[in-house]
Structure 1
Amino acid sequence: MFEPVATDGLWQFEAPIKSWKLFKSCGVHCLKMEGMILYMLNDVEYPLPKSTPQKMLDHKCEVSEVNEEVIQMINLIRRQLKKE
């Protein structure tokens, strides 16, 4: 399910997303996928394959309230998608 590819620096994996949550108190979002859980800092771009950030946006993030931090995180993911 997970195979790093040295040539492009991307994390290569394909798995359905079960949930995507933001933990505002610690600045982390949690992506639960089939067989794995990724904990990612809100303000860091990760070497994810293009399909994963798109799946994240399609799945929608579970948050207690929409605020500036949530908007910044979504915009970071959108910028990452535009780069590829």
Structure 2
Amino acid sequence: MTNAPQVQPMQALPDGEAELALVVRIPWEDVARLGQEAGRLASQMGRPVTLDEAVSYRLRSARPTASHAKTPGEQPAAVSALPRISGTA
């Protein structure tokens, strides 16, 4: 038995979006960039920002708007690698 908290892998949110829980192994350099991004967002928002929020913000700003209503038979576009987080916005 483990003492690790049990996390649901996916959860529907009231605003119509979904929240995914996952583990990602990234280099320390990327963690540092996320910290810089969180600091930048914190100064813009006037409140503390977690690394989770910084990742979410970065992913949202790096992808086109999702179209949830697909016509029958329409195939989703191929998914490429996630955008690389850079030191600048």
Q: TM-score by structure 2 length?
A: 0.25
TM-score normalised by length of structure 1: 0.26
Largest Rg, 1 or 2: 2
Higher share in strand: 1
